[in-house]
């Protein structure tokens, strides 16, 4: 395949994206009309009454036929799909399963960790656990450690007074990947902030900036009758290699001189989720429609005619015990935080913290757009990319972000959200999009991983882009097959992507990958919404299983250790 051919085909995709953009301007008007069909669709075109087929036909671009388009795109970007054999796929083997094999090339995870055991039953993750708000730049290395030390702080406040009276110090030891790349992620300042009683979702970013700017400054921690002085030096970068239960292990210790009064070992298991030694997952309700894989989800939708949005909402209510109103309020808050982050990022120009001296780009891209001569295709891509840069740069500044699925990939969904807002997508469709995106994230968490330290960047930016593609498809009223295909397409495009942050900072390649992740989400949606949905050769479960296997076989140098790839190729001076 020549470079010229690829360019032509890719521009076809972009043309189609632009056409879709025009179509969306009429979305509000046509929404109700297209919802007609069997009348049971919660979202447009559940596929049970052929309304989805009619709708797809109506949206076929006039530039070329749908079949031509599918062949063109698939030939240009995924020729291997056309060469697939007709044999049934092997049973799914999850990352959790393969990671516990003795021949694993990375730090194997303890099979007793809840994150490993939970992969056996139905998905039980809920939105408040998934879309977490707090400081960047890393969900596993900043938000997770801060949640850990905040948890430890709360435990300390409950210790008996006579024990607290004897306390002389609190120490936090970072191990494995947390120690190897923690400096660049701001693990120490986030850990200290949590230890000082700052809740991750509420901590002002200025406080974190102050901690970083004053490494020797001492802060008071009052625990009942005792007040201790803490500094950043109490957060210790300990062994990077060892026999840990998880790649991101840390211990928190309350000391009386050299005597340990209270100690707990914690694990930051990815996406801001945390566990500790002896952790038992909290009691939850049972999902109304239990599923662990996309194919089980599909059965409810196709066989039982349950629309995807309705199914996901009712599961969320059943598992979390929250009302529909509570759930929409949470998603509206997530929307607000994301849009605020993008809007802030589009107005600030700065050199980002750390040794790379990376200049922010979002504002410059927005300004250049006003005088751009790139044509509509170039402008559309630049606009979406600038949104990804804006939120990625806010994350790098350590400001408040939402994990989606992680902090390193936190620029993708806000960029997708902002572009959907540009198209005047109704709020209720955006909420449904968030549900669909979360479902993709849940499937990847359950059957593979969301952690760069376990699976490389495919697990963060790859999953974020896949979620974004599903969000676009769901919000724009596509049927479940297109939603699933869009998610599959985006994830497939990221398989094998390594995690190699330069100098351990979530900046290079992370920020630019957020921009690409958002653009690829749109590309995946454009492909999936125009091909014949049933002709896609690879399903979502298969690609998630491939990601899990790739994660297992990926050399540990490329799993957030800063020992390979760009981290060792880029010379900083
Ligand atoms: S390279 Fe990817 S996985 Fe690694 S820190 Fe950056 S965004 Fe996360």
CA–CA distance, 153 with 147 (Å, rounded to integer): 10
Q: CB–CB of 176/109 below 8 Å?
A: no
| DSSP 8-state code for residue 197 | T
Domain that holds residue 50: 10-129+285-323+401-567
366, 389 contact by CB (below 8 A): no
- Between the CA of 91 and the centroid of ligand 1 the distance, in Å, is 29
Between CA 556 and CA 273, with CA 293 as vertex, the angle to 5 degrees is 50
**H, E, C per residue of 148-165:** HHHHHHHHHHCCCHHHHH
- For residue 501, give the ligand 1 atom closest to its CA: 1
Which three-class secondary structure state does DSSP give residue 397? Answer: coil
Q: Is residue 450 included in any domain, yes or no?
A: yes
- Does residue 330's CB lie within 6 angstroms of at least one atom of ligand 1? no
Burial class (CB in 10 A: 0-12, 13-18, 19+), 256: middle
What pLDDT, on the 0 to 100 scale, is given for residue 81? 29
Q: Which residues contact 112 (CB under 8 A, 6 or more apart)?
A: 245
In a domain, 182, yes or no: no
- Spatial contact of 447 and 545, defined as CB atoms under 8 Å apart: yes
> Candidates 389, 459, 513: which one to mutate for ligand 1, based on the most atoms within 8 Å of Cβ?
513
481: which 2 tokens? 């097959």
CB of residue 409 inside a 6 A radius of ligand 1 = yes
Report the Cα 212 to chain-centroid distance in Å: 26
State if residue 502 touches ligand 1 by the CB under 6 angstroms criterion: no
Q: Which of 484, 495, 494, 497 is nearest to 541 (CA)?
A: 484
In a domain? residue 537: yes
Calculate the CA 514 to chain-centre distance: 10
- Number of independent structural domains in the chain: 1
Q: Is 253 helix (H, G, I), strand (E, B) or coil?
A: strand
Instruction: Give the number of other Cβ atoms within 10 Å of residue 444's Cβ.
Output: 29
Compute, in angstroms, the gap from residue 396 CA to the centroid of ligand 1: 12
Does residue 162 sit within a domain? no
Please count the residues of the chain: 573
Q: Are 157 and 223 in contact (CB under 8 A)?
A: yes
Q: How far is the CA of 131 from the centre of ligand 1 (A)?
A: 18
Q: How far apart, in Å, are the Cα atoms of 73 and each of 67, 217, 439, 489, 533?
A: 10, 57, 26, 11, 14
The closest alpha carbon to 440, from 486, 477, 385, 493, belongs to 486
| Alpha carbons 69 and 173: distance in angstroms, whole number | 55
The pLDDT of residue 168: 97
The span from the CA of 467 to the CA of 75, in Å, is 24
* pLDDT value of position 213: 87
Among 395, 510, 512, say which to mutate for ligand 1: greatest number of ligand atoms within 8 Å of CB: 510
Report residue 550 as tokens: 């790739």
- Pair of tokens at residue 491: 């994830």
Residue 454 is assigned to a structural domain of this protein? yes
Return the residue whose CA atom lies nearest to atom 4 of ligand 1. 499
Q: Does residue 464 have its Cβ closer than 6 Å to ligand 1?
A: no
- 254: β partners: 170, 262
**Sequence-distant (≥ 6) Cβ neighbours of residue 386 within 8 angstroms:** 346, 361, 362, 365, 366, 369, 515
Query: Which residues have C-beta within 8 Å of that of residue 562, sequence separation ≥ 6?
Result: 180, 181, 184, 500, 501, 502, 503, 504, 568
With a 6 Å cutoff on the Cβ, whether 499 touches ligand 1 is yes
Residue 279 in any domain: the answer is: no
| In a domain? residue 386 | no
User: Can you list the alpha helix ranges (DSSP code H) found in 346-460?
Assistant: 362-370, 375-396, 412-422, 427-447, 452-455
Say how many Å lie between the CA of residue 158 and the centre of ligand 1: 37
| Closest C-alpha residue for ligand 1 atom 6 | 510
Q: How far apart are CA 519 and CA 525, in angstroms?
A: 10
Q: Rounded to the nearest whole angstrom, what is the distance from the C-alpha of residue 510 to the centroid of ligand 1? A: 5
Q: For residues 10 and 77, give the distance between their C-alpha atoms in angstroms, rounded to a whole number.
A: 9
| pTM recorded for the entire structure | 0.72
The count of other CB atoms within 10 Å of the CB of residue 39 is 8
CA dist 484 to 53, 299, 442, 505, Å?
Answer: 16, 13, 13, 33
Closest CA to ligand 1's atom 3: 457
Ligand 1 neighbour 235 (Cβ under 6 A): no
pLDDT tens digit at each of 573 positions of the chain = 333 333 333 344 444 444 544 444 443 333 333 333 332 322 222 222 333 333 333 332 333 333 333 333 333 333 332 233 333 333 333 333 333 333 334 556 666 666 665 556 899 999 999 999 888 888 888 989 999 999 999 999 999 999 999 999 999 999 999 999 888 788 999 999 999 999 887 777 778 879 988 999 999 999 999 999 999 999 999 999 999 999 999 999 999 999 999 999 999 987 788 999 999 988 899 999 999 999 999 999 999 999 999 999 999 999 999 999 999 999 999 999 899 999 999 999 999 988 999 999 999 999 999 999 999 999 999 999 999 999 999 999 888 899 999 999 999 999 999 999 999 999 999 999 999 999 999 999 999 999 898 999 999 999 999 999 999 999 999 999 999 999 999 999 999 999 999 988 899 999 999 999 999 999 999 999 999 999 999 999 999 999 999 999 999 999 988 889 999 999 887
List phi, psi (to 5°) of 489. Answer: -60, -45
Structure tokens that stand for 85 in this block: 């054999």
Q: What is the pLDDT of residue 135?
A: 80
Q: Is residue 260 part of a domain?
A: no
| Shortest-distance Cα residue to atom 1 of ligand 1 | 499
Decide whether any atom of ligand 1 lies within 6 Å of the 137 Cβ. no
> How much is the pLDDT for 43?
27
Query: What pLDDT score does 220 carry?
Result: 97
Q: Locate tokens 């030694």: which residue?
A: 277
- What is the reported pLDDT for 19? 52
- Ligand 1: does its nearest atom lie under 6 Å from the Cβ of 452? yes
Mutate to test the pocket of ligand 1, among 138, 461, 498 (most ligand atoms within 8 A of CB): 461
Instruction: Please report which helix (H) or strand (E) contains residue 255, including its range.
Output: strand 249-256
Give DSSP secondary structure letters for 130-193. Answer: HS-EEE-S-IIIIIHHHHHHHHHHHHHHTS-HHHHHH--EEEEEE-THHHHHHHHHTHHHHHHH
Residue 237 three-state SS: strand
Q: CA-to-CA distance for 76 and 81, rounded, in angstroms?
A: 11
Give me the residue label for tokens 């699976």.
455
């Amino acid at each position: 395949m020549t470079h010229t051919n690829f360019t032509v085909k890719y521009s076809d995709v972009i043309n189609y994206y632009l056409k879709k953009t025009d179509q969306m301007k009429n979305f509000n008007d046509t929404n109700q009309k297209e919802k007609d069909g069997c009348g049971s669709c919660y979202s447009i075109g559940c596929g049970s009454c052929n309304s989805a087929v009619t709708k797809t036909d109506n949206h076929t671009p006039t530039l070329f036929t749908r079949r031509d388009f599918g062949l063109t795109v698939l030939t240009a970007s995924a020729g291997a799909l056309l060469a697939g054999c007709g044999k049934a796929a092997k049973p799914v083997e999850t990352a959790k399963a393969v990671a516990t094999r003795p021949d694993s090339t990375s730090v194997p995870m303890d099979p007793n960790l809840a994150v490993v055991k939970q992969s056996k039953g139905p998905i039980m993750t809920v939105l408040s656990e998934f879309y977490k708000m707090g400081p960047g730049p890393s969900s596993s290395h900043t938000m997770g450690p801060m949640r850990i030390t905040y948890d430890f702080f709360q435990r300390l406040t409950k210790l008996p007074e006579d024990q607290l009276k004897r306390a002389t110090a609190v120490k936090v030891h970072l191990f494995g990947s947390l120690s190897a790349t923690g400096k660049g992620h701001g693990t120490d300042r986030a850990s200290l902030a949590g230890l000082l009683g700052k809740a991750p979702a509420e901590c002002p970013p200025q406080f974190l900036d102050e901690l970083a700017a004053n490494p020797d400054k001492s802060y008071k921690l009052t625990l009942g009758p005792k007040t201790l002085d803490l500094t950043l030096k109490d957060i210790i970068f300990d062994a990077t290699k060892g026999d840990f239960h998880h790649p991101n292990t840390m211990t928190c210790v309350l000391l009386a001189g050299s005597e340990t009064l209270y100690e707990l070992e914690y694990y930051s298991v990815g996406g801001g989720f945390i566990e500790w030694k002896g952790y038992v997952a909290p009691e939850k309700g049972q999902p109304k429609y239990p599923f662990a894989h996309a194919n089980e989800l599909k059965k409810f939708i196709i066989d039982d005619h349950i629309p995807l949005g309705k199914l996901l909402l009712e599961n969320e209510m059943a598992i979390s015990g929250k009302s529909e109103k509570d759930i929409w309020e949470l998603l509206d808050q997530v929307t607000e935080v994301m849009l605020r982050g993008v809007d802030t990022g589009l107005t600030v120009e700065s050199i980002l913290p750390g040794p790379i001296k990376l200049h922010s780009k979002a504002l410059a891209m927005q300004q250049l757009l006003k005088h751009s001569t790139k044509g509509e295709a170039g402008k559309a891509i630049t606009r979406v990319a600038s949104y990804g840069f804006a939120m990625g740069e806010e994350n790098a500044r350590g400001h408040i972000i939402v994990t989606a699925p992680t902090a390193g990939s936190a620029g993708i969904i806000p960029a997708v959200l902002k572009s959907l807002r540009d198209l005047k997508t109704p709020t209720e469709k955006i909420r449904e999009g968030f549900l669909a995106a979360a479902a993709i994230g849940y499937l990847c968490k359950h059957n593979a991983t969301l952690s760069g330290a376990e699976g490389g960047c495919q697990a963060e930016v790859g999953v974020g882009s896949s979620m974004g593609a599903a969000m676009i498809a769901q919000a724009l009223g596509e049927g479940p097959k297109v939603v699933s295909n869009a998610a599959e397409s985006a994830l497939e495009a990221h398989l094998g992507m390594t995690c190699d942050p330069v100098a351990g900072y979530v900046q290079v390649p992370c920020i630019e990958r957020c921009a690409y992740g958002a653009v690829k989400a749109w590309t995946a949606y454009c492909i999936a919404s125009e091909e014949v949905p049933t002709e896609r050769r690879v399903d979502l479960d298969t690609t998630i299983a491939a990601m899990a296997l790739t994660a297992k076989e990926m050399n540990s140098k490329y799993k957030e250790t800063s020992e390979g790839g760009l981290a060792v190729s880029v010379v900083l001076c």
